[in-house]
Structure 1
């Protein structure tokens, strides 16, 4: 059984991370591309710019953000299945830059991926 997890881009990459996908639309501040140790940068599965700005990482808006982000992801079935197939073949780490580990889009994306049959 392979593991799938989320991790801040500012945390040290580990071999156990497996396939590392940056799931942010914008490149994280202060990180050199070679230091991120990414296998891919997937902007397609990140929240839209409008949704990201509307949410602005405010805890009181997270439930609404989650609902709207899931709606956005529902239109990206093919890409979700592609990432799910990676997840089924090896360890996968969704990498994100948000400061709060409890309210961020990577949590929502991970949940959506785990529910794909």
Structure 2
């Protein structure tokens, strides 16, 4: 399975394969039709507190990554396992996120965890 990353605001493409939104909050200004999702896996997104701490600058990227990996290995372990099992049936999966920073976002970490 190939896991790709893409901002949810970008236009859907047939090459995206199975499209999964991995944000806890619905992206502002985006209709469900335009998002063209196959699944909204909000339970594997960072917790509200962790997301707020990172976006308000209270956590460095390294600290956020450590804390989010701990969440994925702890409280959301079952949700991650369920998502991994569901994605296994698809040759191409695109994890969608609304974060503007392409090099510092939770979808990067989630992809690594799902591929492990």
Does the Cα contact within 8 Å between 2:41 and 2:83 map onto a contact in 1?
Answer: no
Give the corresponding residue for 1:16: 15
Partner Cα distance (2:109, 2:78) in 1: 17
CA contact (8 A) 1:51 1:69 kept: yes
TM-score in terms of structure 2 length: 0.90
> Which 4+ residue blocks in structure 1 deviate beyond 6 angstroms?
none
1:37-59 deviations in whole A, cap 9, x for unaligned?
A: 0011111000001000000075x
Instruction: Give the alignment's TM-score, normalised by structure 1.
Output: 0.89
Report Cα offsets for 1:55-109 as digits up to 9, x if no partner.
Answer: 0075x71110000000001122222222222332211111000000000000010
For residues 1-117 of structure 1, what are the structure 2 equivalents within 5 Å?
A: 2-56=1-55, 58=57, 61-75=60-74, 76-90=76-90, 91-115=92-116
RMSD: 1.5
